Every structure is written in C-alpha cells, then in structure tokens.
Amino acid sequence: MGRQTDIEFQSPLRSFAFLYFTRSTILIITAVCLIGGYTAILCSHWSQERCYFQYTSAGRQSTETTPNRHLKTYYDDSSTSGSWNDLDKCPGYHVTSIDDRLPGRLIMDLFLHHSPCNVYGKDVQQLKLDVTYESRSMVRLKFTDPHNERYEVPHEIIHGPVKGPVAPEPPLLRFNFTTSPDPFKFQILRRSTGEVIFDTGDYPLIFEQQYIRLKTMLPPNANIYGLGEHSGTFRFNTSENIIRTLWARDSPGIPYPSNLYGSHPIYLEYREASQMAHGVFLKNSNGMDVKIRNEGSHTTLEYNVIGGVLDLFFFAGDGGPTLEGDPKAVAREYSEVIGTPTMAPYWYLGFHQCRWGYRDWFEVAEVVANYSQADIPLETMWTDIDYLSHRHIFTLDPDNFPKKRMQQVVDWLHNRGQKYVVNVDPAVAYNRTIDGHDYGTFIRGETAGIFMMRNDSVIYKGVVWPGVVAYPDWFHENATAYWTKEFEIFFNMTTGIDVDAVWIDMNEPSNFCPYPCDPDRLAKELGLPPPSPPKREPPRRIPGFPGSDMFQISPRQHIDDELHRRWRRKYAPQLTALRSTGGFQRQTSSKEGIRNVDFDIKPERKSLLDPLYQIHNDFPDGLSHKTVPTDIRHRNGYYEYDVHNLFGTTMGYASYAAMLKRRPNERPVVVGRSTFPGAQRKMFHWLGDNWSTWEQYRGQIAYMLGFSAIYQMPMVGSDICGFIGDATPRLCARWATLGAFNPFMRNHNWIESEIGQEFYRWPLVAKAARNAIDIRYRLLDYFYTALWRQSRDGTPAVLPLWMVIGKGVDHITLSLEYQFMYGEALMVAPVVEEDGTDVSIYFPTGTKEERVRWFDFVTLEEITPIKTPPAESGHLGFSKKYSNIGFTEIPLFWKSGNVIPLRSNSANITSELRKQNFELLVVPDANGDASGALYLDDGLSIAQAQGAVFTMLYLHQKEEKNRAVFTARKVANGSSKGSISEEYSKKPEYLNVAVKTFTILGVERIPKSVEIKARGQEDEEMHLAWIAMTEKVDWEYDRQRRVLVIKTGGDLGVTEEFKVSVSY
C-alpha cells in the first residue's frame, strides 16, 4: 500500500499549515525541517484522508524561558489587589512538546513564554493541553496544570461525552495552533469553508491559581446567545460592552442587568454571512465574568474565571450533508456532553396554581373549588412555605395546616384527577425541638454529620425563614440517604402528605446573612421565624369538598378576617423585605468586597473568600454575601468556592433520588431555582421571583428561550402575572395568554398583595385563561412529542425563529426578542406593549429555494406580504401589523412543512384530555410537502410497557402532479429513557382514540376525489396491502381560505397505519 504525504512550507508569519493524515491511524514519523527561516511539518498516516490539526512553527523549539525586558511583573506582593497595565501584553505560553501519536487526539506541553504577569496571583509555569475529537463535529480543548491537582466539575454532574476520542472522517472542525518560539495561540475553524469560529489572535492565555483568562475575536456585531442565568435580552447587544457574570445568587425581582440564580457557561453564535451556527461550552463551575466588547472592526469575548481548569467544547452543528452549522444540531451536540433533559409526566404540562400567603388548608381547598366553579382547568395545586410549622421543613403548622385536614385535601385532589406540590427549602432549622417535640430532621442530620461544617467540627449556621439554620452538604456520602429518609417520613403515601412533586426554592443557596454574620443575633433582630396567621374555623362550605356539609361554620368570620388583615399588614411587609435581600434594584456600590471588613481570618482561607479578581456579582460585598461562605470545605474535600454553583443541582439530584424511592416506577418531578449544566437530567426549572410589570412580562420570553433552546432545560416558565407586586387585569390577561405557551404554566404571587391573582378573580382574566388553556390543552400532545424528542436527542422544544428557518436567516430574524416557536410548527407573537392592542409581526420566509409559508392559527389562511421588501434591504421576510387584538387573544401562526396532531376538544384535567380524539392539521411547504410526529405513552412511567411513535408524511406526488398522499405509520416503539415492549395485546385507554378529521391548508383547487385506506395484511410477496375505509369520504373545501377538511367518520384509530389520497 502506498503512502501520501502533504508538506507545506511557510514563513514565521501568523499563518497556519494544512496537515493531512492518510492511509494510517498511527503516526509513523514527524519531521521538522529547518530551511532558512521556514519550517515544514511532515506527517504521514495509514488511512483515508483526514485533517485534524495544523500548526505553525518558526525557528527552534525551546523549553527555556527568556526574560522579556519589555514586560513588567504585574502583581505587587505589597498591594492588596492586583494591578495591571494591559493584560494583552502578558507573555502567554509557548509549545515545548507535541504528542500526536493517537488518532483524533493531540497532547501538548506549554511553558510560560517570558517573565510572568502574576496579575491576580502567580502564573502557572507549565500547562498541559489535551485536544480531543469527541465526534466528527465536536472538539475539546482541556488546559490543566500537570504539577498541581486543580478542581474540576465532578463526573457525577457532567459525565459526557460518551464517544471520544475518535478519528472523524472527515472532521467538520480543525484546530490550528502556533509552536515555539512564537507565543501559543490557536484557532478553531470549519474545515469546509475555512470560517474561523474561535481565534485567540494575539491575546495571551493567562493561567493562575485563581484567575484564568482566555480571549477570542469574533465578527463585528456578533450574534451571541446564552451565558446564563442572567437578565437581559436573548441576543446580546454586542454593539455595546457587556459583562455576563456567572455566580448563582438569590435574585428577587430579577434585577436588570444582573447575574441570577444559576450558571450555564455555554454560548451559541450564529454567523449571518455563512448562515451557520456553532456553540462553545466551558465546563467550569467556578465564578466567572464573560466580557464581550465592541472593538470596532471586531467583537471580542473574554473569559475571566476565578478557578478550576479551562475545559472547552466546540460544536460545529452537524445537521447532515447539506446542513453544517445547523443550530438545532448544535443543541443536540451540547446535550451529548451534559445529557438530555428528563422527560416530564403528561400531567405536568397542565395548569398550576400557587401563592405565597395562603393562610390555611381551607383557603387552599377553596381555591381549587373556585377554579372549578369558574370553569377554568386546574391540574395542580401548590403550597408555599406557609404550611410549615415555624418554617421548619418537613413539618406541618398544627393550627392552620393540620395533618388530618392536609391529607383530606390531597386525597380530594387525587380523587378529582388533580395533583399536589409543596415547597421544600434546603436549610434545616438549627433546633432539636419544635412545639415541645423532637425536631427529627435536624437531629438525624446532626447525628449523620451531613451538615456543612466550620473547621470540620462545628456546624455552619446561616439564617433564613426558620431563623438559624444548617445546610446539608450534598457532597457528603450520607446526604442523599438522609434526604431520602426525610422524604419517606414526611411524604409517606399512607401516614404523611402524599405529594406528586417537590418544589425546591432558595437553593443557590440563599442566606439572609451578610458576610461576616452573627446568625443568632441576626435571626432575633429579624424576628425569625415569623408567627403564623391567626387560626380560624371554616367560614363557609366548599362545594364538592368531602365533609363540607359537616363543617362547624364559624360565627366570627368577620372577626377572623379582620385579625388576618391585621396580621398581614404587620408581617407581610417584613417578610417581603426579607425576601428582597440585597434590594430589588441593581446594586451600584463598590466591588471592594470584604477587604474593607475587619475580622480575623486565616491567611489560607482569605483567598477563598476574597480572591484578587473580583467578579461582578450583583451582591457587591463579596462572593459569600447572602449565601454560604466560600471557604467552607465539603466532606469530600471540595471547597464551596469551587462548587457554589452546583448547590442547587446536587440538591436536585438528592431530591430526585428521594422522589424515585417513593414511587419507583414514575418519573420524578423536582422543580428547582438554581441550576447548572447536568441539572436538566433530573430537574425542571422556573424563572424565579419576577415583578408584576410589563417589562418582566416581555423579558420572560428571553429567559425561557435561553433555558429551552440553549441550556437544555425545556420545562421552564415564569410566575404568570408576576410574583412581586400587584398585577392589573389587563397585564394578567395578557400574561395568561402568553403563559399558556410557556412549557411550565403556573400562576404564583406573593404574600403582601391584599388579594391573590388567581385567574378567576377578574372576568377579563378568566376569559383569557379559558381561551388560552383550551388552545394549550388541544396542542398538548404536539408539544409533549416535542419534549419527548428533546429528552431523546436534545432537539429544542421551544426555539427562536432563526433555529427553524434553515439557511435563509436575516438580521431581523436573529434579533427578534418577542416572537418564538412553540415546537417547530407554531409561532407565538404576543402583544407586548403596556395596555396595547397592536403588534407588528415579522414573518421570515427563508431562501427562494426553500421558501417558508405562514398560516393564521384561527382562520387557517396563508399570510402574504402587503409589499415585498426590495432585495437590497437584505430582508428575507416581511412585516405585518395586527391591530385591535383583544386582551383575551394572542396571535399564533402555523409554519409550513409540518403535520400537527391536535385534540379535537379540550378538558378540565389532562387525564380526561387523553380520552379525546385527534384531528391532524397539514401545513404544506412551498413544494407541497409536510411531515410530523406523534408520541403516545402512558404519560407517567419511566419504562413504557405500551407506547409508540408515529410519523406522518404529506407528499405532493412529483410523478403525479394532480395527486397528494398523506401517510401515517408507526415507525417505532419508544419511551422516555426506558424500555418498551414490542407488542401489546390489549390497547390501553390513551391509545384507544380516533383520528376524526384531516385539515389541509393552502390547497389551490377543489379536489376531484378523496380516498382513505388503512393498512391491511402483507401479501405473499410481502407487499403492503391498503384497504379502503369507506366507499365515499366526506370532505369540504373552502375556496376562499383554500382549506380542505376531510372527515373520517371516527372509525380510524390513532394507532392504525393509514393513508389519505387526494386527487385533483
């Protein structure tokens, strides 16, 4: 067999050579030939042509460091903080050795290039760089200190990817770098086009114990999305300078701009010029600032990280032979690293109601009954911390939420087909007794030693609602078993409160203590725990509630209500003030942190509390302000400094295990506020404590898109109508219609409001909610299928429009903030202006070759432009203004190329919804084709015994121009991450439904005939036999709207394979 070698000579200028490895997967020889001032790199391999790495060298390699007289030492040991002139003048590193013997992998040693910067500590002298091709479209760069073990994100949190290293054929991405004596720099670029997606240019790498800096050049006005959790727009305004800080904090009111509850160091960039997207993920849980700057001719993105290692993943977006740079493929590749999201049970897609401030069990039950009376569907009732005795978790207030009454409420909900959820905070009251009895939750935790410790022997004390508290150390080997035991006791299905899900709040973790803090003194000053509301007897009967006729109706209802009003006026403002720790407005005070605080602290711990580089945490008084101190050492040796951003995720994992132990065969539902990549495998999310304002009504769209489309957490939603403050009827009505298209739909508000904001309280809002939930429920299986797909491969269920248009994406589409796709077929375009009734909607149409069509959700008519924009405008779409949109309505539009399954009717609970028949909506593309899918299962089980995936195709027959055929086939049995039986003898109820109608849009002419056939038996030659359902099919054609409706007569089961033929 022959061998092929590619050699390229080049000068020591900033350029990059091509290396092609051919005919071998094992390196035979690497020769460096010095010819004058040029260098040649010679490589040969035994295999098909591949190109992984390419690098430039100019001159002799050296492991020596030469002093650079032009650079100063930036860090002054006598100073209390780092000082610098220009970080871009730091020396960086150079390559001292290269090991490229393994296919798809490159290992390099880097050495400090010249005199150190020491800007925020001492520069690490030597680094190891491991470059790995994890797949054809994914390359990983990991920089570590070979001589000192540094913290890395635990494998239990992120244990992907599962493939690499591999020898991709051919790779989509190429890694370029320079060798000694030039400073090390690298590029990641596309092999097909040469487009550079990451370029460190002349910006040196800085790598210190508590500071890592890496900077890349991007195009001007770059289209960047992600880097959460942070308030702000979905697309970054890169014409300005931006700092995105990743440090989990309690963020009441969602201040703007600010770091919020979680940390997700992933960004996705879309290049308009190439019509390609790519992603970059930094696998690091330490605090960081990501600085994006407008440099005029280009944009720069700069990581400033205060610990850990530099572990970067680059995603090319392999969408197939003609779809490189597909943004949905980027999302799928990211899910290969962090894992796909857990599948929600069907019921969780229903409507949920909660409030902080329900006074007792009676009010909780009465709210449920009121929803029924108002004919507004309610799936799940929630209770906030009000149910707890003295705010101690795993207890019940004996006066207002006695166990017997609470069990009665839960049983009543379950008998009605509804669900119940309660709040569980992480902090455990530091009390051994409560109400004269042992407080077992604290005693058992103390005995097991699972609480966070000070100096490895004293439990750390913080302050939250119960007063002085202890925090579980989720890295303790016994923490999960302890937590599971508490769930078994309190949430026991027979003797306890049989909840269906658990809601985790305050898990950043939140702490009312500033740093430093005297917890006992602070708890006393704050009056914690707060007193419970006055006890009352039932003031009236509750329709439908068991035993309501036997209530001893209190004769002192007016007195009880007045006592409660007095209690609310006195304590509610105090409680909400505590909730606003740090203030609702953005902090503007100095970032000097705790250096100005005079207290005794060991030198080795000071750097963990007060690193020299101060990230822009929106609590200005240091990393430990209003949270657990960052110098706490966990049981396994980790410091809170490194794992702070993991607290919510690790608590979520423990709660998932505890819920799974209670109901081993059912999908656990754990809803958390603070998240990190990996959380989505076992948790859902809600968007936190927002204001009841039009600004935050609009802003929640960006946050929802970030979690679903970028961070792989699709089951997300805001507190509808706002949590803080009082919503107006018009705002709440608009929010109800928008909230119906949040994957997670919950109404929730706070204790200080005089009345709640349940939908039934205002006629306008009640009508809006009924309309919106009716649409949501009819679409539930369509969206459930989208969620199932994301749980399988990471394809986002809620997306920005530019993710579904294909290659014809323009700048307007990339900048849309308030329009989004609910699934890949339905565009949501809400009215967003205060008290407004008009909205201008942009309809992207893509390229001429793959033109996108849009159809009105209500009329089913195609949307056409009033005036086509001129080609020189660069707009690949058109705008249209809609006026007089009622407050109970929301503009919706179908995207072409899709087949959508809808329920024929809605229902009040999802278990009844699953008994409704289907209708199929066909929205053909410009070529007359459409496709879709329907996933059906029991909606609850982890392992599905009976379920199936159906694919639906509508094809305009190319060989028969006057004929179109719709085919529905069962392509596979499927499950949500579980096994499934191949066949089943008895059809379950959720599969025992029919397809009632087919509706086809955009039909240009009246049909001559319509035929429906079901699949019969295969003949002797294994040909598929199709049997006509009826001799004559009932159909209607609307010439004006160009809509064809075909009726099946109700005999066509949803599990049957069938086809519909239309002849013209």
**689 given a catalytic annotation:** yes
Q: Which residues contact 141 (CB under 8 A, 6 or more apart)?
A: 129, 130, 131, 175, 186, 310, 311, 312, 314
* Dihedral of alpha carbons 1000, 1004, 1010, 1014, sign: negative
1026 by DSSP, 3-state: which? strand
Q: Are strands 380-383 and 419-424 parallel, antiparallel or unpaired?
A: parallel
Tokens of 688: 């936190």
Contact 930, 897 (CB under 8 A): yes
Contact 131, 123 (CB under 8 A): no
Residue of 508, 758, 810, 824 marked active site: 508
567 C-beta neighbours (distance < 10 Å), count? 16
20 C-beta neighbours (distance < 10 Å), count? 18
Q: Smallest Cα–Cα separation from 632: which of 492, 459, 766?
A: 459
Q: How far is CA 129 from the centre of its chain?
A: 30
Q: Which residues contact 280 (CB under 8 A, 6 or more apart)?
A: 197, 198, 266, 267, 269, 312, 313, 314, 315
Contact 245, 616 (CB under 8 A): yes
**508 given a catalytic annotation:** yes
Contact 725, 754 (CB under 8 A): no
Distance CA 634, CA 629 (A): 12
Secondary structure (DSSP) of 914-970:
TTS-EEEEEE--TTS-EEEEEEE--SSBSSBSS-EEEEEEEEE-SS-TTEEEEEEEE
Contacts of residues 124-127 at CB distance under 8 Å and 24 or more positions apart, as own/partner, are: 124/148, 124/207, 124/208, 124/209, 127/93, 127/207
Q: Smallest Cα–Cα separation from 27: which of 10, 8, 52?
A: 52
Q: Which residues contact 931 (CB under 8 A, 6 or more apart)?
A: 897, 898, 899, 951, 952, 953, 954
Secondary structure E strands in 88-200: 93-99, 105-112, 126-135, 138-144, 173-178, 186-190, 196-199
Give the amino acid at 761.
Answer: R
Distance CA 885, CA 880 (A): 14
Q: For residues 321, 325, 331 and 334, what is the CA-based torsion angle, rounded to 10 degrees?
A: 90
Task: Give the burial string for 703-723 (b: 16+ CB within 10 Å, else e).
Answer: bbbbbbbbbbbbbbbbbbbbb
Tokens of 316: 């090319």
Sequence length of the chain is 1064
Distance CA 249, CA 261 (A): 5
Distance CA 538, CA 548 (A): 9
Q: Smallest Cα–Cα separation from 977: which of 479, 341, 548, 202?
A: 341
Which alpha helices (H) appear in 663-757, and where do they start and end?
Answer: 694-705, 729-739
1046 by DSSP, 3-state: which? strand
DSSP 872: G
Contact 778, 770 (CB under 8 A): no
Q: Smallest Cα–Cα separation from 677: which of 707, 651, 702, 705?
A: 707
222 by DSSP, 3-state: which? coil
Secondary structure E strands in 287-417: 288-294, 299-305, 310-315, 351-353, 380-383
Residue of 505, 618, 810, 925 marked active site: 505
Active site residues: 505, 508, 689
